[in-house]
């Protein structure tokens, strides 16, 4: 029985954050402006309104207004001040027993505009210290090279990732960090959630929706350019140090069929296949025919050179990093191939942001990805965003413990079935600014940070009940997963 399955002794228990959601220190030590620094807090808007705005994307006028704005609050410019507090924050994670810690390097700390010939040494020195501290505290660093931190000048000067010149700029940045850290960092994720072009369109592609004539083609051209850039980074990294593990990352956006109606089943299959597409290219080294057909049927035009084909074929990724939060469902009578077109699942409850809680969905997703690729998997993100209430100096977050306990049991079930999961990174082990909503009150952490949506508060760190629970999970190497 799967309950008797024992996790590998070297299993990497830990957590994950992104630089842009935690560091703060806006323009400190020469840092440039990234896409995330343009994301303002929409005070007074509902969660649904915030989500709809995020899906819409960003216009050129929005970008220019944000750069010049002296009135509104931009939470990701402040984060939780991790830039200065990382020694204390990492010590708290080490107290839980973390074996690994995933974070990103902010491109704009190292190449502030993306166009500099030489890197910003102050930014590199910061990451020297951060990575050294992670290792000193007994954690294996997992580093994401790009996590929604494209320099804004790349948008203004090149129009975003659909411009092939951006491949060269990113390659220069990637080579710089690989040169610097290839002896310290084994696990690399080149680009965070490379498939989230419909849910995080601007963050993912850096293309303003009003800056191109054919936005859909530009979007998939941007993804293609990211495939090529990732392959080039892979090739360079492996030449530097063959022991590096370099992977791609997906957010799980696969969907269940609403019913056994064949139309529902076929729609779910087609939807899921176009989500697998992003990893199919990077693991199989070529574009699958179903994707080429989809592009032709939808008048999506992409420039793919023979050189591109050769480098993709030669440099397939080592592992899959996966983020999983919720499952989705599609009804052929209501939904179409747009990944944002979904039907609520009546069998599941959701958090206040509409994210359906489905632990078995993680078991299903892990099994499907393993069966398709037979590549090691890192769960790079999994967590429960919720409003936490501070009561007499304590946070009783049983709902988070229940969520994580149920998901870890399903991960264990998948591993019992033979899925090779090598690491589990709980998302936001310390509260950080939400990626999608820019809210601070959408909290994931085992550690509460006393800041509100507008940056007010003491910044004090407070251990939640889930802190002790996750410490127990790690101490027992997953033997004790009970809530």
Q: How confident is the model at residue 54 (pLDDT cuts 50, 70, 90)?
A: low
Calculate the dihedral angle through the C-alpha atoms of 208, 214, 219, 220, rounding to the nearest 10 degrees. Answer: -170
* pLDDT exceeds 80 at position 200: yes
Quick one: angle between helices 398-416 and 359-373, nearest 10?
Answer: 30
pLDDT tens digits for 128-151? Answer: 999 999 999 999 999 999 999 999
CA distance 278 to 106: 23
CB neighbourhood size of 433 (10 A): 29
Q: Does domain 2-475 have CATH number 3.20.20.80?
A: yes
Q: Which of 400, 429, 413 is nearest to 478 (CA)?
A: 413
pLDDT at position 48 is 67
Q: Which of 310, 313, 448 is nearest to 388 (CA)?
A: 448
pLDDT tens digits for 317-370? Answer: 999 999 999 999 999 999 999 988 999 999 999 999 999 999 999 999 999 999
Delimit the domains of the chain by residue range.
Answer: 2-475
Instruction: Give percent of the chain above pLDDT 90.
Output: 94
* pLDDT exceeds 70 at position 35: yes
**Cβ-Cβ contacts under 8 Å for 129 (sequence gap 6 or more):** none
Pairing type for strands 421-427 and 328-330 reads: unpaired
Task: For the chain, give the mean pLDDT.
Answer: 96
Question: Please, are residues 18 and 426 in contact by the beta-carbon 8 Å criterion?
Answer: no
Q: How confident is the model at residue 52 (pLDDT cuts 50, 70, 90)?
A: low
pLDDT at position 47 is 66
Three-state helix/strand/coil letters over the chain: CHHHCCCCCCCEEEEECCHHHHCCCCCHHHCCCEHHHHCCCCCCCCHHHHHHHHHHCCCHHHHHHHHHCCCCCCHHHCCCCHHHHHHHHHHHHHHHCCCEEEEECCHHHHCCCCCCCCCCHHHHHHHHHHHHHHHHCCCEEEEEEECCCCEHHHHHHHCCCCCCHHHHHHHHHHHHHHHHHCCCCCEEEEECCCCCCCCCHHHHHCCCCCCCCCHHHHHHHHHHHHHHHHHHHHHHHHHHCCCCEEEEEEECCCEEECCCCHHHHHHHHHHHHHHHHHHHHHHHCCCCHHHHHHHHHCCCCCCCCHHHHHHHHHCCCCCEEEECCCCEEECCCCCCCCCCCCCCCCCCCECCCCCECCHHHHHHHHHHHHHHHCCCEEEEECCCCECCCCECCECCCHHHHHHHHHHHHHHHHHHHCCCCEEEEEEECCECCCCCCCCCCCCECCCEEECCCCCCCCCCCEEECHHHHHHHHHHHCCCCCCCC
Calculate the dihedral angle through the C-alpha atoms of 346, 352, 353, 358, rounding to the nearest 10 degrees. Answer: -40
Whole-prediction pTM value? Answer: 0.97
* pLDDT exceeds 70 at position 53: no
Q: How confident is the model at residue 49 (pLDDT cuts 50, 70, 90)?
A: low
Q: What angle do CA 53, 56, 59 make, to 5 degrees?
A: 100
CA distance 299 to 465: 52
pLDDT tens digits for 256-281? Answer: 999 999 999 999 999 999 999 999 99
Q: How confident is the model at residue 57 (pLDDT cuts 50, 70, 90)?
A: confident
Question: Please, are residues 18 and 82 in contact by the beta-carbon 8 Å criterion?
Answer: no
Q: How confident is the model at residue 3 (pLDDT cuts 50, 70, 90)?
A: confident
């Amino acid at each position: 029985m799967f309950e008797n399955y024992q996790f590998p002794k070297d299993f990497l228990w830990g957590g994950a954050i992104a630089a842009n959601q935690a560091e703060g220190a806006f323009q400190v030590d020469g840092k440039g402006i990234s896409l995330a620094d343009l994301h303002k807090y929409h005070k007074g808007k509902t969660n649904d309104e915030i989500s709809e705005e995020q899906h819409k994307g960003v216009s050129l006028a929005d970008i220019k207004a944000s750069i010049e704005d002296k009135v509104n609050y931009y939470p990701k410019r402040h984060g939780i001040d991790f830039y200065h507090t990382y020694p204390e924050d990492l010590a708290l994670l080490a107290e839980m027993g973390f074996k690994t810690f995933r974070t990103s390097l902010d491109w704009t700390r190292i190449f502030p505009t993306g166009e500099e010939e030489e890197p910003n040494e102050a930014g590199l020195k910061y990451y020297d210290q951060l990575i050294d501290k992670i290792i000193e505290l007994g954690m294996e660093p997992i580093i994401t090279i790009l996590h929604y931190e494209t320099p804004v000048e790349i948008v203004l000067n090149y129009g975003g990732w659909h411009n092939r010149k951006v491949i060269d700029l990113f390659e220069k940045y990637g080579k710089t960090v690989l040169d610097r850290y290839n002896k310290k960092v084994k696990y690399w994720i080149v680009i965070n959630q490379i498939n989230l072009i419909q849910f995080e369109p601007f963050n993912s592609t850096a293309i303003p929706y009003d800056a191109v004539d054919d936005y859909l083609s530009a979007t998939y051209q941007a993804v293609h350019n990211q495939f090529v850039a990732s392959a080039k980074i892979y090739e360079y990294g492996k030449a530097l140090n063959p022991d590096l593990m370099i992977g791609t990352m997906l957010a799980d956006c696969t969907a269940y069929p609403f019913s056994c109606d064949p139309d529902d089943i076929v729609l779910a299959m087609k939807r899921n296949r176009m989500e697998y597409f992003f990893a199919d290219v990077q693991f199989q080294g070529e574009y699958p025919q179903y994707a080429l057909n989809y592009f032709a049927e939808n008048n999506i035009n992409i420039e793919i050179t023979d050189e591109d084909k050769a480098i993709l074929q030669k440099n397939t990724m080592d592992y899959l990093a996966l983020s999983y939060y919720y499952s989705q469902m599609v009804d052929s009578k209501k939904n179409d191939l747009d990944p944002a077109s979904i039907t609520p699942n009546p069998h599941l409850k959701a958090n206040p942001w509409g994210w359906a809680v489905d632990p078995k969905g993680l078991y299903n997703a892990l099994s499907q990805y393993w069966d398709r690729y037979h590549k090691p998997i890192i769960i790079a993100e999994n967590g429960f965003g919720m409003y936490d209430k501070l009561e007499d100096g304590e946070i009783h977050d049983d709902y988070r413990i229940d969520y994580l306990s149920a998901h870890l049991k399903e991960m264990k079930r998948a591993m019992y079935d033979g899925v090779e999961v090598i690491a589990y990174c709980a998302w936001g082990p310390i509260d950080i600014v939400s990626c999608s909503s820019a809210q601070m009150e959408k909290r994931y952490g085992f550690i509460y940070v006393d800041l509100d949506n507008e940056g007010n508060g003491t910044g004090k760190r407070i251990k939640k009940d889930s802190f002790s629970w996750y410490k127990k999970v790690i101490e027992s190497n997953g033997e004790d997963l009970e809530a």
